[in-house]
Amino acid sequence: MGTQLEIPPSIFEKIVNAKVAAAMTGAGVSAESGVPTFRGENGLWRNRRPEELASMEGFLDDPRLVWDWYDWRRTTIAEINPNDGHYALAEMETVYDEFTLITQNVDGLHALAGSRDPVEMHGNIWHTRCMKEGTIMENREAPLKRIPPLCPNCNTMVRPHIIWFGEELDTDVLKRAGEAARSSEVFFVVGTSSVVQPAASLAGLAQRNNSLVVEVNLERTPITDSVDLFLQGPSGVVLPDLLRMICRARGFDV
Ligand code: BV8
């Protein structure tokens, strides 16, 4: 069952013997579940680029349009299940003594697949924030009953509690992600075009701290030439195969 990935023995040994590992994922890990990626061929929405829609400027210019986009994504995601790549990453929490899952995705699929405490660098599409009070709420309506949605406490418009382009990431989130990258012996970079900062810098940070960086992607990216191992293929196939190989090498009958 599954394919035997081509991995140089010295690299495979490090992957198997590591105690502390981390993974950083992007939209590609959810692609096989049916969640559209950002920069793939269907990376536009009503002829607008994500960078325009996922920004405070875009939101203030047309809150209804931006909420229509999020409502469309939320309603799509509400029907979607995690795929085998999400489940393999959740399994890695039992394979390594310490494993941190960092994601750029806001779809919540890692938690649904069993990842216990994902570091959601860009927030979560099911969370909203009152534009007046700053109150953070969970709203699972799909579709939304009202667009734009209002704060139940003060009736002010709420925004998605998501980090938009040009907005700073939460300092605690950044700290957790940075610590996980620095302390990892193996750092997996899965399904991301590695263009969005500061998430895209985590692989380099890990490598500068002697971590082995393993990239899993359908195609080459700006970091492929500098990683220690590039596994080309769909994460929903490659990650379960890799997990099986690690478990077998550790003597488990899988
Ligand atoms: C900030 C939430 C600073 C929205 C998102 C240098 C330093 C700091 C900032 C910058 C910088 N240079 C530029 C910037 C600005 C900007 C940025 O990075 N721009 C890019 C476009 C150049 N960064 C920011 O604005 C960040 N803020 O740094 O603030 C600051 C400092 C002081 C004061 C004020 C501000 C905030 C960035 C966060 C933006 N929000 N998401 C939402 O989701 O609605 S980012 C958005 O892009 C998503 O989170 C997405 O995950 C992320 C990255 O995209 P990917 O996940 O990689 O998805 P993509 O489609 O691109 O690629 C998919 C990949 O998967 C492909 O490689 C494909 O081959 C692969 N794939 C497909 N299928 C599969 C697969 N792989 C495996 N298996 C498959 N089946």
For residue 195, how far is its CA from the centre of ligand 1 (angstroms)?
6
CB 147 within 8 A of CB 154: no
Domain ranges within the chain, ordered by starting residue: 9-35+82-122+170-250, 50-79+128-162
Which has the closest alpha carbon to 72: 44, 31, 52?
A: 44
Q: Which amino acid is residue 153, in one-letter code?
A: N
Provide the residue-wise pLDDT of the chain in tens; the chain has 254 residues: 667 789 999 999 999 999 999 999 999 999 999 998 877 776 777 788 888 899 999 999 999 999 999 999 999 999 999 999 999 999 999 999 999 999 999 999 999 999 999 999 999 999 999 999 999 999 999 999 999 999 999 999 999 999 999 999 999 999 999 999 999 999 999 999 999 999 999 999 999 999 999 999 999 999 999 999 999 999 999 999 999 999 999 988 77
Q: Is 118 in the pocket of ligand 1 (CB under 6 A)?
A: no
CB atoms within 10 A of CB 30: 28
In the CATH scheme, what is the code of domain 50-79+128-162?
3.30.1600.10
| Angle of the 9-17 helix axis to the 235-249 helix axis, nearest 10 | 80
Beta strand 123-130 with 136-138 is antiparallel
pTM over 0.75, yes/no: yes
Nearest to 104 by CA among 32, 194, 239: 194
**Catalytic (active site) residue 110:** no
CA 197 to ligand 1 centroid distance, Å: 6
The CATH fold of domain 9-35+82-122+170-250: Rossmann fold (3.40.50)
